[in-house]
Every structure is written in C-alpha cells, then in structure tokens.
Amino acid sequence: MRVPATPTTPGGASTHRGGAPRRRPRVSPDLRAALLYLAPAGFVLAAMLAYPLYQLGVISLFDYGQAQASGGAPLDFVGLDNYAQLFGEPRFWTVLVQTCVFAAVCVVGSLTVGIGLAVLASRVRALPRMALFLAALGAWATPAVAGSTVWLFLFDQDFGLVNEVLAGVGLAGVENFSWTYDRYVAFGLVAAQVVWCSFPFVMITVYAGIRSIPTDVLEAAALDGATPWRTLRTVIIPMLRGLLIVATIQSIIWDFKIFTQIYVMTNGGGVAGRNLVLNVYAYQEAFAASNYGLGAAIGVVMTGILLLITLGYLRAQRGTEEP
Amino acid sequence: MSTRTPARRRSGLLARPGRTLAEILTLLIALVVAFPLYWMVLSAVKHPGEIQSSAPRPWTTAPTWDNFRRVFQVEGLGGYFLNSVVVALAVVVLSLFLSFLAAVALTRFRFRGRTVLAVMLLVAQMVPVEALTIPLFFLMRSVGDVAPRLGLNHLGSLVLVHLAFSLPFAIWMLRGFVAAVPKDLEEAATLDGASRFRFTWQVLFPLVAPGLVAMSVLSFIHAWNDFLFARTFIISATENQTLPMAILVFFSPEGNDWGAIMAGSTLLTVPVLVFFVLVQRHLVSGLAGAVKG
C-alpha cells in the first residue's frame, strides 16, 4: 500500500509562530529537555537511515565482492571503477530505459484511470460512488505481495481465469498463452497490477479536488452545454493544476522504486533478467551475484535520480500551498 | 439525497439517461476493480480439485477451509503470521513512543535548530529506503555480532529498519496533532503544579490519541507489507520468515499450489483491509473529507 509522503497536517506546522514575548527566556532547560526527548528517535534515524545512506556511497567506491563481504580479502578502494564498469555495460542502459518506460506507463495509467474515474464519480449518485470507492480502497489496501500473487493466478497459463475466458469466447490460440514469458507482455501485466493498486490514490485525491471546485462553476459549464471531456479539459484540470502535479510526482517516485511486483510476478526479473528494473537489478547484482560494490553504485544512481524528482516535488508542493 | 421520493427519482432517471448509463458504468468498474480480491478469497475457500480445474467458475458450491487448514498444519503458516504480527506490533509500539517524544520536542520546546530538524525530517522521508538494502545488510550483520537477536536472520533486524523508516513520517504527522493542542492548557497545567513530564504523558498523550492511532496503523501496514527487507535479512533462519516471504514457498517449478497461495494472500490482506477502513480518512487528510461518499 502506498501513502503520500507528506500529507497536510491538521493544525499546521506553524501554529505558534511569533513566539510569546511575555514568556521568560528559558532557553537552556528547553534545550536540555528537547535533546532528551529527541535522543531515542535521533539515534535510530542516525544509525538506520543516515549512516546506511553514507555507507551506500562508500561501498560503491570499493571492490566489494564475496571475498570482501566474508572478510576473506582486504577492501580495495577502486574510486569510480564500479561506476565506469556500470556505465560501460549495455545491460545497465537497457535496465535504465526499461525502468523509465515502465514507470512512465504506470504513472500515465494510474493518472488516466484515476482522473477518469474521479470525474465519473463526481457525476453519479452516492450509492454507485460508494461502491466504486469501496472497491478502490480494497485495491489500494492490498499488500503488494498479495496483489501480485492474485494477478499472477488470474493470468496463470494453465489455471488462470483470463485464459479460460479468452479461450471460451473463441480465441483458441490463447489457451496456453503465457503472460509472463515475453518481455513486453510481462511488463504489461505488472504495469496493469501496479495501476490497479495505485489509481485509487489519484482518484480519491482528484475527487476531493473536484468537490472543492465551486458547484456554480461546474453548473455553468454544464448549462453552456460543455461535454464531460470539455469540462475536464477546460475547467477541472486547470483548476486542480497544483494537486495534479503533486499526484503526478508522487506517482513517479512510487513507480520508479517498484520492487515487489516485478520480483514476485516475473520471478526475480524475468527470463534471463529481461524484466529487470533498477531496484531489482541492484538487488540481484548484490545478493545473487555478490557484486556489492556494483549494486551499491546502482543504488547511488537510483537515489540521485529520485533526489532530482523529489526536488521537483518539493517545489511543486510549495507552489500549491500558496493561496 | 436519500430523502427523495421514488416518483421524483424515477422522473430524474428518465430525464437524465446519461446519468443512469454513467451509474451502470460505475458499478461495472467497481466490480472489475474488486474482482481480484473476490477471486483471491474465493480461491482460498475452493477445493484443490476445483482450483486445478481447467474450467474455473466464479463461484463455489462447497466452500471449504481445507486450504487454510493445510497451510497452517502442514506448512506452519501460523508461525510466519505470528512473526509478521510481532514485527509490526513492535514497530508500532516503539515508533509510537519515539515519535511522540520527538514531536513534543519539536513543537513544544523552543530551541535553536528546531526548524533545521523539521526540514531534515522532510528530507528523511524522501530517502529511497529500497536503495539502502546493501549497507543495511552489512550493518545488520555487524549488529548481529553484538546483539544476535537484532541482527541478520532475526526479527529484530526487521523491527529496527522499519522503525527507522516509519519515524520521519510519524514524527511529521504527529507534529501537527501536538501543535494543535492549545498552549493555554500547558500553562494551566503548570499553574496547577504539574511537571512538564506529567503534562506530556497525562494531558498531551491522551489528547493526541487520534493522531497516534492513525500513525500506528500506517506504521503497522508498512512493516506488515514489507517484502524486500524480509527477503534480504532473513536468509538462512527460515523459521523467522514473515508472511509475505512464506507465501512464495508455494510457488514451485513443478506446479504452484494456488490454493495455498491464495489462502496465504487472504491472511496477508485481511488485517490491512480492516485497518485501512479504520484510517482511510487520515490518508487524505487535508483534502477535505474526501471519502465521505
């Protein structure tokens, strides 16, 4: 399940700005208490988040294989050799392009389905809307592993419902069609699963946005004879621009990091690793091939790309908070 | 809306055939979206013979607990379920206290560097934790040398990493709840002679309970759903695996045991579904009562 990283907090972060001028200055006891209160969380975050992040960079600069990992050989500082090796490998570029295209398809899919269904939900009465929202909440809440297994089962070569139904309607050749063998078909199946569990976030966010548009604006559009498509294009999308940017970047960040669905549905990256994305690639390099240095380099590249996206996210979010 | 008379509704229907079509479409889409979940639960209670049938039916005439019984008794899925519960609950309890303390410090105490810390929390939420598997693997190996139960192959390693991953968001979220408690309350409590410690635990803690509940459920779900770190850390001690990993055992080249896989997936999904319904409003908080229906 996915949860937006930074929801608007009730009460807001700036509740007591402007201080209390009448208050006696009590800086030092406050600081001491604050340190005491912050210490446990600070320790955990420093040890489990900041230090590993630093270590990720360090490991990527060493020749770090099975021998070094088991302590059998001394660590050998190799500078940027891991990166040079990585960028010289055609496979890395294939995986990078695959990751970007796969993430793009998932993002476009979730946004299209999410926005479309939000508009649909805003035009129907409460009962069908509740049914849709309940179903969407179910898809949203399903753990990635469970969602992956049930989609695999539905599309199973031998016992899957989908093949059975397709064969039933007369597509004879589809009887034993494998949905996980071909590179593009397998990616398509995983993308469909990802869209299934990530469109609800977009739908619910955009639906709330549509609800916040004054009704007379929408009524005026309807009175002027605007079609739903036209209303969406000329009223809803421009008015919800900020919200849509945030939902888009949030989706990009999520879909770029997908691990579980690819790992479970393509059995660790597909036949001969042709369904790898960066995340799974780094994992396989490190823990299957014992190239920890190379795996860490992939991790650094991924972190760098996500950092760039995140900066865009923060800027977009700041943009929406302005009245 | 529900107070409309049937007559008016019918005339509304006739007057707006477009909306009726849209409503039928909405219901159909709802069915399609919900179908994988239905199929999962249905397959979990089907007879193995029915699952292996080459003509699967979208219903069953003889529901059975056979799959569940099998995964619990033969495969010991109960133990893995328990492992998942232990990890998730430990993360919840620890992050509850740690994030509450930190949130109090960040909102109630005035000291230099407070804003910097808040910004760092925001940055920490953006770290792609998936990229940290390699350094965390080595860190956990070292931790295991000192404290075996917190190291590789033990549930403690999962608790530690998920605690760290859940803290930035939890603190960030609680900050808002703590800040919303009026300042006067603290002054009143201080006048009544309550120490800061007592105020924090006896007044503030109960007051931010809604925030704590929402935060706990989110931490629970994140730890519960984890696959990557369980896959990385629990390598040789299979008895310490968590539920998501255990389900994958039923995949095999000789043929997948779909009945067991669907039973396991159902077990994995139900607790999250329950919690999710409880907190869904907080997931879109700030977006003004989105899912009121």
Question: Cβ contact (<8 Å) for B124 and A259?
Answer: no
B1 or A226, greater pLDDT: A226
Which one of B47, B69, B91 terminates a domain?
B69
Quickly list DSSP for B35-88.
HHHHHHHHHHTS-HHHHS-SS--SS-SS--SHHHHHHHHTS-HHHHHHHHHHHH
List the single best residue of B37, B98, B130, B175 to mutate versus A (max A Cβ within 10 A).
B130
Tell me the three state secondary structure of residue B117. Answer: helix
**Three-point CA angle B259, B262, B266, nearest 5°:** 140
Residues B195, B275, single domain; the answer is yes
Residue of chain A whose Cα is closest to the Cα of B58: A161
pLDDT tens, B196-218?
Answer: 888 888 888 888 888 888 888 88
pLDDT for position B159: 96
Say if B149 falls within a structural domain. yes
How close is the nearest chain A Cα to the Cα of B287, in Å? 6
Of A204, A283, A295, the CB nearest to B284: A204
What pTM did the predictor assign? 0.86
pLDDT for position A24: 52
| Residues ≥6 apart with Cβ < 8 Å to A307 | B126
pLDDT for position A305: 93
Q: Are A260 and A145 in contact (CB under 8 A)?
A: yes
Residue B111 has pLDDT above 60, yes or no: yes
Q: Is B42 on the interface with A (CB under 8 A)?
A: no
B53 or B212, greater pLDDT: B212
Q: Is B116 on the interface with A (CB under 8 A)?
A: no
Residues B158, B268, single domain; the answer is yes
Give the integer Cα–Cα distance in Å for A147 and A138.
10
Residues B232, B110, single domain; the answer is yes
pLDDT tens, A160-203?
Answer: 888 888 888 877 666 778 888 889 999 999 999 999 999 998 99
Confidence of residue B268 (pLDDT cuts 50, 70, 90): very high
Say if B1 falls within a structural domain. no
Of B139, B173, B280, the CB nearest to A52: B139
Q: Which residues pair with A63 in a beta bridge?
A: A76
Q: ipTM more than 0.95?
A: no
Residues B82, B198, single domain; the answer is yes
A274: DSSP letter: T
Residue A93 has pLDDT above 60, yes or no: yes
Residues B83, B55, single domain; the answer is no
Most confident stretch, B66-70, B90-94, B257-261: B90-94
Say if B290 falls within a structural domain. no
pLDDT for position A320: 60
Question: Cβ contact (<8 Å) for A147 and B36?
Answer: yes
List the single best residue of A32, A142, A254, A320 to mutate versus B (max B Cβ within 10 A).
A142
Which one of B17, B38, B69 terminates a domain?
B69
Residues B274, B192, single domain; the answer is yes
Residue A129: list chain B partners with CB under 8 A: 26, 293
Question: Cβ contact (<8 Å) for A259 and B130?
Answer: yes
Residues B43, B140, single domain; the answer is no
Q: Are B244 and B80 in contact (CB under 8 A)?
A: no
Residues B82, B197, single domain; the answer is yes
Question: Cβ contact (<8 Å) for B176 and A27?
Answer: no
Say if B44 falls within a structural domain. yes
Residues B138, B269, single domain; the answer is yes
Say if B12 falls within a structural domain. yes
Of B167, B221, B287, the CB nearest to A41: B167
List of domains in chain A: 90-289 (1.10.3720.10)
CATH number at residue B165: 1.10.3720.10
Say if B53 falls within a structural domain. yes
Q: Is B28 on the interface with A (CB under 8 A)?
A: no
Give the integer Cα–Cα distance in Å for B247 and B268.
9
Mean pLDDT, chain A, whole residue set: 86
Question: Cβ contact (<8 Å) for B135 and A117?
Answer: no
- If one counts the domains in chain B, the total is 2
Of B56, B221, B277, the CB nearest to A161: B56
Which one of B69, B96, B112 terminates a domain?
B69
- Backbone angles phi and psi of B126, in degrees to 5: -90, -10
Residues B174, B276, single domain; the answer is yes
Can you give the residue range of the structural domain that contains B239? 78-283
Residue B292 has pLDDT above 80, yes or no: no
pLDDT for position B289: 31
Of A16, A154, A257, the CB nearest to B36: A154
Interface of B with A in 1-20 (CB under 8 A): 1-2, 19
Residues B135, B196, single domain; the answer is yes
Residues B20, B108, single domain; the answer is no
Reference A34, options B3, B205, B114; nearest CA is: B114
Question: Is A262 buried (19+), middle (13-18) or exposed (0-12) by CB count in 10 A?
Answer: buried
Of A15, A33, A260, the CB nearest to B109: A33
pLDDT for position A4: 58
Quickly list DSSP for A58-112.
HHTTEE--HHHHTTSS--EE-TTHHHHHHHH-HHHHHHHHHHHHHHHHHHHHHHH
Interface of B with A in 210-249 (CB under 8 A): 218, 221-222, 224-225, 227-228, 231-232, 244, 247-248
Say if B288 falls within a structural domain. no
How close is the nearest chain B Cα to the Cα of A14, in Å? 8
